[in-house]
Amino acid sequence: MTNFNKQYSYPVEIHNSIQYQGKVDLRVDNQFQTYRSMLEDSVIAGSTSFIKSVLNRKFQLKPHGRSTQKEKDVVGALNKSLEDLKPYSFNRFMNNVLSLIEYGTSLQEVTFERKRGFQVFKSFSPISLQSINKFVYDRGELKKLKLTPPNNDGLIQDVVKAPTEIAGAKVLVFSFQADNDNPLGKSLLRGAYSTWKEKTTYRELNLVGASKSLSGVMKIEVPSDYLNSFFTDPASDQAVLVDNLIKQAELMGAGRSSFVALPSDTTEANAKLFNVEPIKGTDRGGFEIEDSIARCNREIFMSLQSAVLSLGQDGESSGSYGLSSTKSVLLNTFLSSVQDTIASEFMKGVRLAFELNDLTDERLPSIQWEEMQQPTFEEFVEGIKAVGMSGLVEPTGELNQWIIEKIGAPVNTAGGEVSGLMNIARQQTGEGANSG
């Protein structure tokens, strides 16, 4: 008996499905898997990698101005331990923390060890978000995490049995833009979801259209009595012949066959009774999918607050505008806010370290980040020259020493060179004003 099979593709219906799917995909139990899928997009992956690479900076603890000697020694030991983290290096630790950009939150279990008489950081172990079964909070404070074994295909095997619970006091929860409605933070990708989904739909439709345009839709012409037998009497010879023609046409349309065997029967007017040929693709009526995809890319850039990456990609931005100081300042402001978020939660680990070393939290150290952008030598010199001419800062030996250290210049035992230059610049400015 002949079986008539149909195959369908189901592109997302743009007009009503994206908003509904967003409610499902962005639920707490689905959102992390959704963000992982979004990272397969080249624009999103490139943007987040750029942001993470800029943010992946070293930092160190700076003692409080009124610290005791023991507190200074503890801070020094903690800074040393950050350089000796195992099994994850400091760079790997920062990369794990910065996954909060993609997922909204990053969980790190902190452990300590005694070295040189002080309790210092031993490791910061990342906790997979997909392995967490439940977050247990008490008045906004994380009490514990209940874990389930993460999905593993067996390729990676851990000799140590994974714990089922972790005390909240040992967990650093780095959350991006956390609030009462989103205590776990909000991923930077969340705002780009609708645009990403729209873009993926356009791409799917574009591929479907390209497939139909290149391979065509196969048209099969058979006499009407053969077609009637195909539907009414599937076991008949005529139905079997039509079924074979359909299967051959499917193979040829899919590119898996290069021929179709047809009967050569003709009518009295010498017209073919049987025929198989592709139907040419139809015009899209002026709708340009590529333009829509480009628009989606621009919206994704903007939603990720990394529009500096879109330099010239819309054919309108000039180089001077794309690299303007305003955009650089805005980007640095955003990156600084992320650093403040990381520093705020990291201080929880510092408090634990002080407590383990029998110290109070009255004089906690501050976190000092490596500068994102060092000024050029010309910019530094011009800035110092402007300060000297303004008269706002008095050139002293301390200022001279600070400038030498800032530019990494060798110490001049004669001293006073920088101060002298600033005084000369100020005198020349005053003389020019008087002569005017």
pLDDT tens figures, 90-109: 999 999 999 998 898 999 99
The yes-or-no verdict on residue 221 having pLDDT over 60 is: yes
The band of 389, judged by pLDDT with boundaries at 50, 70 and 90, is low
Q: Which of 193-207, 209-223, 227-241, 375-389 has the lowest mean pLDDT?
A: 375-389
Collapsing DSSP states into helix, strand and coil, what is residue 118? Answer: strand
The yes-or-no verdict on residue 75 having pLDDT over 80 is: yes
If you average pLDDT over residues 11-15, what whole number do you get? 52
The two structure tokens encoding residue 366: 């501050």
The two structure tokens encoding residue 176: 């991006």
Question: First and final CA of the chain: distance in angstroms?
Answer: 108
The band of 147, judged by pLDDT with boundaries at 50, 70 and 90, is confident
Q: What is the distance between the alpha carbons of residues 47 and 189, in angstroms, rounded to a whole number?
A: 10
Rg of the chain on CA atoms, in Å: 34
Q: Which of 76, 164, 82, 74 has the alpha carbon at shortest distance from 123? A: 82
Q: Which of 53-67, 221-235, 285-299, 404-418 has the lowest mean pLDDT?
A: 404-418
Q: Which of 303, 329, 315 has the alpha carbon at shortest distance from 47? A: 303
The yes-or-no verdict on residue 283 having pLDDT over 60 is: no
Looking at residue 112, what is its pLDDT? 93
**Amino acid identity of 32?**
F
**Amino acid identity of 206?**
N
Contact 418, 404 (CB under 8 A): yes
Residue 137 has phi, psi (to 5 degrees) of -115, 155
pTM: 0.64
The band of 300, judged by pLDDT with boundaries at 50, 70 and 90, is confident
Collapsing DSSP states into helix, strand and coil, what is residue 174? Answer: strand
pLDDT tens figures, 26-49: 888 888 889 989 898 888 888 888
